[in-house]
Structure 1
Amino acid sequence: MKHLNFIHVINSYGKRVILFLACCLFFVLTSNAQVTSSIDTTKIKIGEQITFKVEVDADTTDLVVFPEGQTFGPLEMIESYKIDTTKNEAKFKLIKTYGLTQFDSGSYKIPKQKIIVGTKTYFTDSLHVEVYTVAVDTTKQSLYGIKPMIEVEKASSDWWIYLLITLVALGFIAFLLYWFIWRKKPLTEEEEIAMLPPYDRAKLALKKLDESNYLQRSELKDYYSELTFIIRKYLDEKVYDRALESTTDELVGRLNLLRDANQIELSTSDINNIETILKRADLVKFAKSAPDIELAKIDRNTIDVEIDQVKEALPEPTEEEKLLDKQYKEEQELKKKRRKIILTVGASILILIATYVGFGLKYGFKYVTDTIIGNEAKELLEGDWVQSDYGVPPIMISTPVVLERIELQAIDSTQQLKRTAFAYGDVNSSFNIGVGTTKYNLQEGEEIDINGAVEETIKSFENNGARNIVVKREQFITPNAAEGLKVFGTGEFPTDVEGQYRSGEYVILIFVSDDKSVMQKIALVWNNKDEYTNDIMDRVLNSVELKKVEE
């Protein structure tokens, strides 16, 4: 009985183990992606297309990232086709196709391509391709001389769009300034009346008084207030400049004094008429007197006559007075012109400040300032970059300017066959880019001294005045999966001013070919306190790719 129980336990346990192993196997089969690659042909003629296909079987929840850009060196990608997706139960089958070509004959190897599926990274197999030349039958095809060089027009840019926008903005601002400041605006009724001579203004005021309804409504106080203001205003402008604020007795006394001094030819009866009306108006305004409506009309006509009498009594202006009056008008016009100029300048300054603040809040004040006054690093960062190959085998890198070739002498002619370098700037510049390729002639068992190459570069920094250099190391992988050594750190680098140093960073990338015969090196040095040079170097580092050396 115990034996049967033991067998039953063993059978039960075995079933559980088998079930567990089956679940694990199912999990592995369903969770692992499959990546395969293939080409439609391994032999082409120069310029013909190779179809490179990558097939990925992955879960529907996995994110798949295919390589983009020129990652197929030494072959050139001429087209990247859309991903073809098919679903099979809980999996997706993704097919990505690329069109590749090569314009030089030879034997080439398509490097491994990096495929990211979910959180895992896969690499395709490297594939060999033979590129053959095209045979030319010179007996059937005539040969011609080399054609002369022709000038090619420079590619057009969008500078005219920015110029047009600027001109439109300036035109709009100029229109606003003209419309609100310099334009001769139509005069209002009050302004037109103010432009009239004092006599015409007084006559017009009497006419408007006749059109009012003061007398019809028996509003004698308002009527006499307007009437006396008309005569006082006229006298204030033509006879006595304090006629408006003077009392009746003071004004009449001043008129008598001017008459006695022969400064105004006004009769005693005219002065008495003015005095009578002014005193009657005082009684109406302050003593609540109520004269007859007809008397009020008579007083109005009397004031009309007296205004004419005052005009006749005033002496003709002398030439000197006329000249002073002309100068006064010219001064007034000049004041108006100056006021317009001040308003224009002030408005322009406010518009510039508002524009600067607006763009500063959106893009940053430093960016706007550097755009206005100019910043070399910013212009290089935002300009047209150059993507080129340097050295043999080539190092592919994007830079804001083309690197210049520098011929170097071999350090040890018994060890090095050839050494080429390309560079821009130096350690004193805001940033320096150097690219070099060295091909060695090593004996069996010898290896390239990578540490020596690093020390040589660091030593060159120090020989050019750098100090306090901090050295760090880590692995570096390019977008096309080439692995190398990254040496980086900080230091103090000399400036153009003797004795002064600035904080800076450097990066040294070193790659060694599979056959251990070629070393490729990239050295970058820049001012890490400048955000533009930081962005430039980040972009340069992210663009580094290289072709693997054929074994």
Structure 2
Amino acid sequence: MTDLFFNKKGVEISLQAKVKAFLFVMLFCAITMSAFAQSTPRVKSSVDSTTIKIGEQVHFKIEVETDTTAQVIFPEGQTFMPLEVVEVLPTDTLINQDKFNLIKKYALTQFDSGHYTLPRQQIMINNKPYFTDSLKIEVNTVAVDTTKQKMYDIKGLAQVDKPMGDWWKWLLLGIVAAAIVGGLLYWFVFRKKPLTEEEKIALLPPYDRALAELKKLDESKYLIQSEYKEYYTELTNIVRSYLEDDVHISAMESTTDELITKMELLRDSGSLKIDDDTIKQFKNVLQTADLVKFAKSTPENTIIDRDRKTIEHIVVKTKEALPEPTEEELMEQEEYVEAFKQKKKKQQIKYAIASGAVVLVLVLGVFIYKYGFSSVKDSVFGHPTKSLLESEWVGSSYGFPAIYIETPKVLKRETGTPKGEALGTNSHQVFSSGSMHNGFFVQVSVSTYKKEADFDAKKAIDAAIAQVEKAGAKNMVVKQEGLTIPTGKEGNKVFGTLEIENPETRKNREAAYIILSFVQNGGFEQVIMVYDKADLYANEIVNKITNSIDFKTES
């Protein structure tokens, strides 16, 4: 009995140990789970009202409870579409023991009535995303008591002045450039500016020009600076040039002996009545000049003065020895003066053209640096797609159920379009602008279901691709992805490249295309755009059109 008792006692002790161990494990798990629960952030969201009137504000609140060391990033920007952010309030921070309670509030609004879904918002906590719940917001119209509100007749259409656009900037630039060029032409060509001393001398008859040049040589600094070679070179060139112009002998390229020989022959023939002593004096001056120029001889001042007077004496004696100028020679002199004036005028025109070209190059350089070469080239010479982008766009609703879209030109309704019974659609309306074969093409189509269950959006998208192929497209590259436009509506985007023949040039055109498809308000809406693949401005037009798409939401 004792062994059994002890055996029983031993069993009892063993059960107690197991119970204690189990309780210890449970306590440890509870502590661990509590600690884990405390370290896991909690995110809550709420709105102060789910029903507002048009233009009123709803306050959306996000509460985050997390550790004091956690990094929290709240939503920023227009992530609340289709509602608009009016104001983002500063973050409130409350400390609860070892926790932070962060509260972020946003003031949101909507200016169109309807039922809207406030999308889930992402909060980043320690680089890990957490999401709020989506919320339904109802925007009601403002009730108007028509019994008290006075009614008026509908007014007729009114003419609206078309905005000026940017053309005035280019006009102003053209006026400024024309004024600069005109000013340069006046200054260099048409303005009667006084002649310089050299120009006045050049217009004088040969004899008077030679004396004026000798006087100018006396005022030079050649002798002061001991530049004897330059002095004698100019001194002899004056008399040689005079002999060529008035005596009509080639003196500039002749040597001293050749020139003296020519003068002696003229004297002997009676064409030049000049004495031997004058020719001898002239020969001595030329020989002295040769020594100074080629032998680097330095003449005395008395010899320099003598040679200077001798040259003037030779010019005077030669003038006296010449017969009176004939009428033909006088005419030649007038022709020379007129030719000189024409030469000067041509020089002025060249200067004006060069200056104008420099101004234009500088202006173009500034614009190219600021706007880029392609933009300036297209602005100066024109570009069809750039003109579309910069024109006054038209915003309008097309079809039923209506799709609102802004385009460079009003879309025209296409007649004779198929209804699309095979796709489960009842009505099919098509509006387009441009041509798929050249330029920028945009087409909007709106269809309604026969029965929503019978409609297949995928087949409708395939039909749109088949439509592009039927127009002559080849080698189509097809890509597809989801799409959310700025108004918050979701759709499908099919895009890629293709080749299509231009019927006018018979050349293949490398083009890009985009097909946007939406199922909204009980209808199927589709936008097709085709444009040149290398067009720099087409992408801007595509983005602008895409961002303008909207649908009237039923209230």
TM-score scaled to structure 1, two decimals? Answer: 0.76
Structure 2 CA distance for partners of 1:347 and 1:101, relative to 1, 3 Å: closer
The amino acid of 2:62's aligned partner reads V
* Alignment-derived partner of residue 165 in structure 1: 173
The amino acid of 1:50's aligned partner reads E
Name which of 254, 274, 285 aligns with 1:266: 274
The amino acid of 1:323's aligned partner reads M
Secondary structure of 2:41's partner? helix
In the aligned structure 1, how far is the partner of 2:190 from the partner of 2:134?
A: 74
**Residue 306 of structure 1: how far off its partner (Å):** 4.2
Query: Does residue 436 in structure 1 map to residue 437 in structure 2?
Result: no
User: Which sits farther off after the overlay, 183-192 or 152-161?
Assistant: 183-192
Structure 2 CA distance for partners of 1:297 and 1:457, relative to 1, 3 Å: closer
In the aligned structure 1, how far is the partner of 2:167 from the partner of 2:14?
A: 96
Structure 2 CA distance for partners of 1:243 and 1:466, relative to 1, 3 Å: closer
In the aligned structure 2, how far is the partner of 1:168 from the partner of 1:422?
A: 44
**Residue 318 of structure 1: how far off its partner (Å):** 0.7
Deviations 1:289-323 (A, max 9, x none): 98894x87666555544433222222111111111
Secondary structure of 1:466's partner? coil
* 8 Å Cα contact 1:112-1:481 kept in structure 2: no
* 8 Å Cα contact 1:112-1:480 kept in structure 2: no
* Alignment-derived partner of residue 478 in structure 1: 485
Secondary structure of 1:169's partner? helix
Structure 2 CA distance for partners of 1:208 and 1:384, relative to 1, 3 Å: closer
Secondary structure of 1:255's partner? helix
* Alignment-derived partner of residue 326 in structure 1: 334
Deviations 1:233-279 (A, max 9, x none): 54454336444555555444333322222212223444455456666
* Alignment-derived partner of residue 59 in structure 2: 53
Q: 1:286-301 alignment to 2 at 5 Å? A: 293=302, 301=309
* 8 Å Cα contact 2:423-2:459 kept in structure 1: no
Secondary structure of 1:161's partner? helix
Deviations 1:44-83 (A, max 9, x none): 5xxx6332332233586314135379835xxxx7xx5221
* 8 Å Cα contact 2:389-2:540 kept in structure 1: yes
Secondary structure of 1:65's partner? coil
Structure 2 CA distance for partners of 1:490 and 1:205, relative to 1, 3 Å: closer
* Alignment-derived partner of residue 28 in structure 1: 40
**Residue 221 of structure 1: how far off its partner (Å):** 9.4
In the aligned structure 1, how far is the partner of 2:223 from the partner of 2:517?
A: 107
Long gaps (5+) in structure 2: 1-12, 65-69, 95-99
The amino acid of 1:100's aligned partner reads Q
The amino acid of 1:126's aligned partner reads K
Structure 2 CA distance for partners of 1:333 and 1:203, relative to 1, 3 Å: closer
The amino acid of 2:78's aligned partner reads P
* 8 Å Cα contact 1:504-1:527 kept in structure 2: yes
**Residue 109 of structure 1: how far off its partner (Å):** 1.3
Query: Does residue 520 in structure 1 map to residue 525 in structure 2?
Result: yes
**Residue 174 of structure 1: how far off its partner (Å):** 4.2
The amino acid of 1:541's aligned partner reads T
User: Which sits farther off after the overlay, 284-293 or 477-486?
Assistant: 284-293
In the aligned structure 1, how far is the partner of 2:487 from the partner of 2:223?
A: 103
* Alignment-derived partner of residue 155 in structure 1: 163
In the aligned structure 2, how far is the partner of 1:18 from the partner of 1:399?
A: 65
Query: Does residue 112 in structure 1 map to residue 125 in structure 2?
Result: no
Name which of 95, 105, 127 aligns with 1:95: 105
In the aligned structure 2, how far is the partner of 1:190 from the partner of 1:359?
A: 42
**Residue 379 of structure 1: how far off its partner (Å):** 1.9
The amino acid of 1:67's aligned partner reads Q
* 8 Å Cα contact 1:65-1:115 kept in structure 2: no
Secondary structure of 1:152's partner? coil
In the aligned structure 2, how far is the partner of 1:498 from the partner of 1:220?
A: 76
Deviations 1:429-477 (A, max 9, x none): 433323333232428xx43222332343233333333344454444333
Q: 1:495-514 alignment to 2 at 5 Å? A: 495-497=502-504, 500-513=507-520
* Alignment-derived partner of residue 374 in structure 1: 382
Deviations 1:189-244 (A, max 9, x none): 55554444443444455556767899999999998887666655544543364445
**Residue 485 of structure 1: how far off its partner (Å):** 3.6
Secondary structure of 1:81's partner? strand
User: Which sits farther off after the overlay, 392-401 or 6-15?
Assistant: 6-15
In the aligned structure 1, how far is the partner of 2:481 from the partner of 2:197?
A: 85
In the aligned structure 2, how far is the partner of 1:546 from the partner of 1:219?
A: 93
User: Which sits farther off after the overlay, 177-186 or 307-316?
Assistant: 177-186
The amino acid of 2:41's aligned partner reads L
The amino acid of 2:483's aligned partner reads F
* 8 Å Cα contact 2:229-2:296 kept in structure 1: no
Structure 2 CA distance for partners of 1:149 and 1:438, relative to 1, 3 Å: closer
The amino acid of 2:519's aligned partner reads V
In the aligned structure 2, how far is the partner of 1:538 from the partner of 1:120?
A: 31
- Considering only aligned residues, what root-mean-square deviation do their CA atoms show, in Å? 4.6
Name which of 145, 159, 172 aligns with 1:135: 145
Query: Identity across aligned pairs (percent)?
Result: 32
The amino acid of 1:518's aligned partner reads G
